[in-house]
Amino acid sequence: TAREYAKIYAAEAESLEGFGEVPEIIPIFLVHRPENNVPYATVEEELIGEFVKYSVRDGKEINFMRKDSEAGQKCCTFQHWLYEKTNGNLLVTDFQGVGMKLTDVGIATLAKGYKGFKGNCAISFIDQFKALHQCNKYCEMLGLKSLPGGHQKQRKPTAMKSKVPPNSPNVQKRVASTQGFKRDREQEMGSAEQEEEGPV
């Protein structure tokens, strides 16, 4: 299921100028071995290179390799594209692999499945993805709509050492009173000098 959707995603994305290579979910083959104690096994292409987990099973976008790498961003876009394509009924997650070649992905569907598909992830992952997804340039290239409730990066305000803001009326009063004190002090000094210079 996930692989078939990935093919459709690739066909749409590759037609866009500048999108580049698209992640591929590699096929898994079922092998029947009647003479073996375990008569069935699965085999797939050996992936050579640095193996990266781009996302975790619950849709949380916490792996920095997922966010910072081209493959990771395109996996996020694939999730967003599929979510939109299926009206929020299906999510592919648990992306991992080498470069653009992915293996052993997870699928979350609605309670009774989506069009007969059976998921291996909790349906709550779909809501988590919706809340945590951050659109990137590839989402924009595909014209995907921002997800309602999608997570937006917000910069935390810098903590101030002083508890009172510099433009606070309290600070202005303090400055004014200090200036008033200086003026009063200067006047006192001036009158003292005049008394000293007075007639002998």
* Annotated active-site residue in 58, 68, 94, 127: 94
> Could you confirm whether 94 is annotated as catalytic?
yes
| CA separation for the pair 168, 150 (Å, rounded) | 36
Model confidence at 11, pLDDT cuts 50, 70, 90, reads very high
Read off the amino acid at residue 172. Q
pLDDT-derived band at 118, boundaries 50, 70, 90: confident
The two three-digit tokens of residue 52, written as one number? 């990266």
pLDDT of residue 63: 53
pLDDT band at 7 (very low <50, low <70, confident <90, very high): very high
**pLDDT over 80 at 54, yes or no:** yes
Pairing mode, strands 24-25 and 101-102: parallel
Q: Which class is domain 2-141?
A: alpha beta
pLDDT reported for residue 60: 52
The most confident of the ranges 1-5, 80-84, 185-189 is 80-84
Structure tokens at 168: 């606070």
Secondary structure of the chain: what % helix, strand, coil (to 5)? Answer: 40, 15, 45
Cβ atoms within 10 Å, residue 128 = 17
State residue 53's pLDDT score: 86
